[in-house]
Structure 1
Amino acid sequence: MITRRERALNYAILTAFSALALLPLVGVLLSALTPQSQASSSFTWPAHLDWGNFSTAWTKGHFADYLGSSMLVAVSVVLLSAVLAILAGYSFAHFSYPGRSLLFYITLVGLMVPPEAFDIPLYFNLRDLGLTDSYWSLILPQTAQSLAFGVFWMRNFFRTVPRSVIEAARLDGATDWRVLWRILVPTSRPALLTMAMLVFMWTWNEFMLPLVMITDESKRTAPLGLAFFQGQHTTQFSLLAAASIIVALPVVVLYVFLQRHFIAGMLSGAVKG
């Protein structure tokens, strides 16, 4: 049994590490609220809070367009990855056919190879197909890159569902398609939302692929737009901090709303290998 002293020590250690993790975030937020006349590259306590930095960064950086592009790409990748991962995960978890294990391990190779290794070959392939400088040049490669994790994640979760539940449904006349969408998918909601959130975060934060594929300013994603904004306002630290918060805010908001499902999915999604 944990004693009161041990509990107090645990809380003290967790509080110290939480403070260390939050300190840089607080510094960025304070920098974003510091008047530009007082802005500095070091930690500065603002004389007064200047919320106008956010509107200035929003307008000058054209972040409405960039956030719209990132949202379109991220949502498309999440939806495509989720559907394909559900189908492939169900196949690997509950069907027996020649080469199943080999195909699964080939799929896992995608977890071992850095995505940056494919960017240049992808550029030439997509250029030959006329897809560069379009949203498809971002959606299709990132969907493929996310599938290795998605298939692994959903396959592991589907394997935790008692086989007796599936057999009972089949005895009642349910087809494999009905078993998947009426029984397995509803029970996999925490794992599915966790996967969706991780894929959304990875897609949202992707920088190298948009840099290689996109030249049209109207199709730039938020991280790419932030990089160009930084190059144009190198010494305007308050605007840079405000722009950074604008770009990061959608992922933070998503996590706040889905944190309960995220924790549940992390605890259940990889229980059985």
Structure 2
Amino acid sequence: MTESTVAQRVTRTGILLALMLFAIVPLLSMFTTALAEPGSTPRGLTWPGDPHWHNFVDAWSSANFLALFRSSILIVVGVVPATVVMATAAGYALAQLNVPFGKVIYGLLVVGLTLPFEALITPLYYDLQSMGLLGSRFAIVLPLIGLLMPFGVFWMRAHFLGIEPALTEAAKVDGATGWQTFRRIHLPLATSAWSALAVLFFLASWNQYLLPLVLVDDPSKRTVAGGLGAFQGQHGTDVVLLCAGSLLIMLPSLVIFLIFQRNFVRALMQGAVK
């Protein structure tokens, strides 16, 4: 092993350790703060002498997290499956089928990637008000499906473009229809891509803050991230409870990512190899 190779490995390891510390230290600081005495203001990354585990229970009951978690789950169930299914079908159509005006449609979707949520919140408010959906969970689900679709189609189209044409030709020779080719060949091969997309859409829906805050008046119908705003208003000076509540909100996202991290990394690596 040459000196240059050793130096490169040491450099890469040092960069990875620095990035790991950059991500983990804030979480550890929030965790130790959440265990401190209620009403105190801990400083730095120090383990409390008497950990107050009941702070998580107090934050859970004070912010009514049970209702918020239930509402978030309903919103995620309404957004993620529908968006993943439509994005997968649209991405396959734009990549493998001769869709009329396919390039124009794809160009419009790419333009949609550049539109921030903040720029659309006002017209969305009045559109949903005219439809009678303002204040309901549909006011969150329907806009989220539309706002997430451009990225979903972009992601899945990039995957299907990398598929070998020989697979499709072999399926045609065997007498498979277009639907059978998609369902039995291309869709199973795209498991890593669409499962990684589902994780991203789960995170985007679960952590959605602005849309629930503006479009829904009832706090119990918002996401947990949207409910954090009301919780912060009540306990903005109690750093301990605020950290405990924030960790409760982050926990499902961390669990989902840890469960599906292999699919997520596999999808990214497939794109890198192609």
- TM bucket (normalised to shorter chain) is over 0.9
Select the residue among 187, 190, 209 that pairs with 1:188. 190
Secondary structure, aligned partner of 2:260: helix
> Which residue is 2:41 aligned to?
40
Residue 226 of structure 1, CA deviation = 1.0
Distance 1:106 1:9 in 2: 42
Secondary structure, aligned partner of 2:51: coil
Residue 3 of structure 1, CA deviation = 3.2
Residue 177 of structure 1, CA deviation = 1.1
Distance 2:54 2:126 in 1: 43
Residue 185 of structure 1, CA deviation = 1.0
Residue 270 of structure 1, CA deviation = 6.8
Query: Is 2:207–2:223's contact at 8 Å kept on the other side of the alignment?
Result: no
> Which residue is 2:33 aligned to?
31
> Which residue is 2:73 aligned to?
71
1:88 aligned onto 2:90: yes
Provide the TM-score with structure 1 as the length reference. 0.94
Residue 9 of structure 1, CA deviation = 3.8
Alignment identity in percent?
38
1:198 aligned onto 2:206: no
> Which residue is 1:170 aligned to?
172
Query: Is 2:93–2:99's contact at 8 Å kept on the other side of the alignment?
Result: no
> Which residue is 1:234 aligned to?
236
1:90-239 correspondence to structure 2 within 5 Å: 90-239=92-241
CA offsets per residue over residues 101-158 of structure 1, 9 Å max, x none?
1111111111111121111101111111111111111111101111101101111111
CA RMSD of aligned residues (A): 1.7
Residue 237 of structure 1, CA deviation = 1.4
Cα gap change, 1:82/1:13 in structure 2, threshold over 3 Å: closer, same or farther? closer
CA offsets per residue over residues 219-242 of structure 1, 9 Å max, x none?
021011111011101221111100
Distance 1:123 1:256 in 2: 35
Distance 2:31 2:169 in 1: 54
Distance 2:99 2:225 in 1: 43
CA offsets per residue over residues 168-198 of structure 1, 9 Å max, x none?
1122121111111111111111111111111
Unmatched runs of 5 consecutive residues or more in structure 1? none
Query: Is 1:86–1:154's contact at 8 Å kept on the other side of the alignment?
Result: yes
Counterpart amino acid of residue 144 in structure 2: Q
Secondary structure, aligned partner of 2:37: coil
Distance 1:228 1:258 in 2: 31
Moved more, 130-139 or 4-13: 4-13
Secondary structure, aligned partner of 1:140: helix
Residue 260 of structure 1, CA deviation = 0.8
Distance 1:75 1:43 in 2: 39
Query: Is 1:34–1:49's contact at 8 Å kept on the other side of the alignment?
Result: yes
Provide the TM-score with structure 2 as the length reference. 0.93
Distance 1:247 1:135 in 2: 19
Counterpart amino acid of residue 40 in structure 1: T
> Which residue is 2:15 aligned to?
13
Number of residue pairs aligned between Structure 1 and Structure 2? 271
